[in-house]
Chains A and B, each alone.
Chain A
Amino acid sequence: MRDWHKPMRPPSKVSFLHSVLLLLCIAFLADACPAQLVIQSPPASSQPPAQPPMSWSNELRDVANKVAAISPPPARIELEVNNFSSLGPGEAASISDWLRSEFARRGFRVVSAPPVDGTVTITLSEGVDGYLIVAQVRRGPDEQIAMIPVPRGAQNAARAGEIILDQERIWEQPGVILDFALPQPAPGESPMLVVLEPGRIVTYSYSPQPPQWQLSNSVIIPPLRPWLRAPRGYIDLSRGLANGKAMLSGIDCTGDFRSQETVHCAFENQPSPPWAVEEAWTDKNIASAGDSAGVDLSCNGRAVVLATGGGDWTRPDFIQGYEMRTSQGEGAIASGNPLEFAGPVTAIWPTENRGVARAVVHNLQSGNYEAYIVKATCSH
């Protein structure tokens, strides 16, 4: 594992799962968790255009420090910023603006024509380990190079259109996630997180002192023979954790997910499993989509459905909000900007909260499975 033991940051806005997510956001990797489990911070919200991405601030200051160490101010410098990374032009421009301001603040005179004391070329680059800021400082025939790595951050939420989508990444692990659930904690009880994997149901409870998720229970699910390569999964906590139900292709597990010994799994004939119902509805109503979830929300008097893209599992995916023209769902209108992800959305389900869905993404860049809460709101 590399650089995954990161603390989570508080969310930048009050959200629908405020009480739970505030706790999530300060949690660290649980020592008691299995080694592959990691918790990662939710994405930062959109930044004002003149500011660098919040997660880059420290690294950009490091760049300025290193340049200043190589070529101390005051000095006339020519500054060039190149973007060879996957950052968008807007983000790169923000970084460029910020750097110009920072160099000026430190006593450099940033000029665009000779005479100059030195030339500074900042390149926003990217490798498999993340972003890389490369500073080339030339003074006469000499060139010195400084490199500052920047971990990859999450993408910002969409902010335009009729349906506004926000995402909160709340969990990440290398192993497959079929579904997850964040049940509302009962008064006085610790928040719980339930993760459904192909071979087990894992329950974590939140411990405030020290703030971390701790493995609470792990229920082994008897293997299906032949073990399907892409089983579907669904967690049903509509009757509470004490009467939880986890469904996999051909298997039902029921019991109190807080108590390992009460959970029993059995092979079941599943004539209408949730995924079959969902897929049939999606095929009929949003033919271009792969999976969808109705989220009990209306915008402009139309029911809102969140749906994935229709590609296979080898490419980045997105979640798009749709307004359904009729109650039968005939005629879906894409509304607002999609949320984009670095891999296929392998599951999307509504939650009990209005406008909220849970989604699982297989991040093709990191190889990890990520659990997201996606919230849809109407823009007016």
Chain B
Amino acid sequence: MSKRLAAISVAVGFLLVALPAATSRRPRYGGTLRVEIGAMVNSLDPAVPAASPEEAIAKQGINALLYDHQEADGTFAGVAGSGPFRIAAWEPGKHVTLAANDDFRDGRPFVDGVEIQMSRAAPDRLLDVEVGKADLAEIPAEEARDAADRGVHVSMSEPEELIALVFVAGRPAGDDARLREALARSVDRAAIVNFILQKTGEPAGGLLPQWLSGTAFLFSTAVDAPGAKELVSQIGGSPRIVLGYDSGDSLEQSIAERIAVNARDAGIALTAVAAGRGSASADLDARLVRLPMHSTHPGEALASFVATLAPIGGIDATPLPAGATADQIYGRERSIVATFRVTPLVRFPRVFGLSARVRNWKAPLPGERLPLADVWLEGDAQ
């Protein structure tokens, strides 16, 4: 060992020993963070397309820990291992073990490593966090209250992911703006939040959340059954609307079924049907769409939503001007919602279950990588 390395080792050794023994304010170094995810990630190569949105999101999350940073266009900068962690072991589709990168430019992570177990179903993830077999797992928003009741430490982001009802462009059933408006007015968003999301979320009248834009309060979220009935009566008979939801998404299914009930009460004939994710919309007049948020800039977040919604609903996809003002962003949002081709329904946070030994965890903002480099583990330090 060179003299320089020896000196470094002495200095580092001293530092690790000199840290306070039992305080949660100052970090502790060491330990392995055990993470469980639901997705199956078969390749971490950014160039290899993911087989599903879940895999894409999980792969993105893991790669964000491996690469120095992410460019605005979503590509990763640097080489794998230039981020806070590098791959120590990798079994495609099953698990990946990450080791702390001592040379990371923002400093070595506090934990020595991260073990990520894949393909764990939501109930199993929650159970593993509950019994201490896992330190961190994302859990469905609608199960947050149950998790907290079971004693799991629950961490939530700001409400960010939106579920919206989108009328498919070109389908005759959605041609009549009065019918689209009637359906939008008939939806009881508060009931969806209270009963389906178990109060973990908020009704959404606009596309962007209040905490992001500051203008969400300008969009009504109130149910207006009389108004809906009045519009239906003007039409003189509603064509049947076929509303699709992702067959593998129980939350979407519950929401679609609730919408069908609300629609029926307003005199609208609507059938909720399971559909393959991303499948052709030939038989669907409308579908539920999940819109995860990827940016904390209102203009960028709206642009991302529009990019998803425009091909389905045929809404105006003209980009906002660079540096758009709050007024302009609100104006675009209002113009989209006013067509009733897109009806925002509910917005909910990302929910994480944490074991008792996890410290310094903060739910990431949209577009941020999971702050696993900042987390330290109580009672498992060197």
Q: Could you tell me which A residues sit within 8 Å of B by CB distance?
A: 84-85, 123, 125-129, 131-132, 134, 136, 145-147, 149, 198, 224-231, 249-251, 267-270, 273, 276, 279, 283, 290, 310-314
In this complex, how many residues of chain B approach chain A with their Cβ under 8 Å: the count is: 46
Nearest CB of B to A323, in Å: 23
Q: How many A-B residue pairs have CB under 8 A?
A: 121
**Are A226 and B214 in contact, CB atoms less than 8 angstroms apart?**
no
B211 contacts A250, C-beta separation under 8 Å: no
Q: Are A276 and B110 in contact (CB under 8 A)?
A: no
Choose from B107, B218, B362 the contact partner of A134 (Cβ within 8 Å).
B218
With A128-B298, A227-B107, A229-B374 given, is the CB distance from A250 to B210 under 8 Å?
Answer: no
Of B102, B103, B214, B359, which one neighbours A132 at CB under 8 angstroms? B214
B218 near A145: Cβ-Cβ < 8 Å: yes
Q: Which residues does B use to contact A, with CB under 8 Å?
A: 5, 7-8, 10-12, 14-15, 18, 20, 23-27, 100, 102-110, 210-215, 217-218, 296-298, 325-327, 330, 359-362, 373-374
Most buried by A among B5, B15, B213, B362: B15
B104 surroundings in chain A (CB, below 8 A): 227
Assess the A312–B24 pair: CB atoms within 8 A.
yes
- Return the contact of A127 from the options B20, B214, B218, B374 (Cβ within 8 A): B214
Question: Among A123, A225, A230, which residue has its beta carbon within 8 angstroms of that of B12?
Answer: A225
23 intermolecular pairs with C-beta atoms under 8 Å apart? A126-B211, A134-B215, A145-B218, A145-B330, A147-B326, A147-B327, A149-B326, A225-B8, A226-B103, A227-B104, A227-B108, A228-B107, A229-B27, A230-B27, A273-B18, A279-B20, A283-B23, A290-B25, A290-B26, A311-B25, A312-B360, A313-B374, A314-B360
CA distance A145 to B218 in the complex (A): 10
Contacts A228-B108, A249-B11, A249-B15 known; 19 new A-B pairs at CB < 8 A: A85-B214, A127-B210, A128-B298, A129-B214, A132-B215, A134-B217, A149-B325, A149-B326, A224-B11, A225-B102, A226-B108, A227-B107, A229-B106, A229-B374, A250-B11, A267-B10, A276-B18, A279-B26, A313-B374
B214 and A269: CB pair below 8 A?
no
Q: A128-B298, A290-B25, A312-B24 are in contact. Are A267 and B326 (CB under 8 A)?
A: no
Residues of A within 8 A of B5 (CB): 225
Q: Is B102's CB under 8 angstroms from A226's CB?
A: yes
Give every chain B residue within 8 A of A276 (Cβ-Cβ).
Answer: 18
Q: Inside 8 A of A132's CB, which chain B residues have their CB?
A: 214-215, 326
Chain B positions within 8 Å of A226 at CB level = 12, 100, 102-103, 108
Residue of B nearest to A276 (CB): B18
A50 to B12, CA, bound (A): 56
A224 to B362: give the CA distance in the assembly, Å.
27
Q: Which residue of A lies closest to B24 (CB)?
A: A312
Rounded to whole Å, the gap between the CB of B159 and the closest CB of chain A is 13
> What distance in Å separates the Cβ of B359 from its nearest Cβ neighbour in chain A?
6
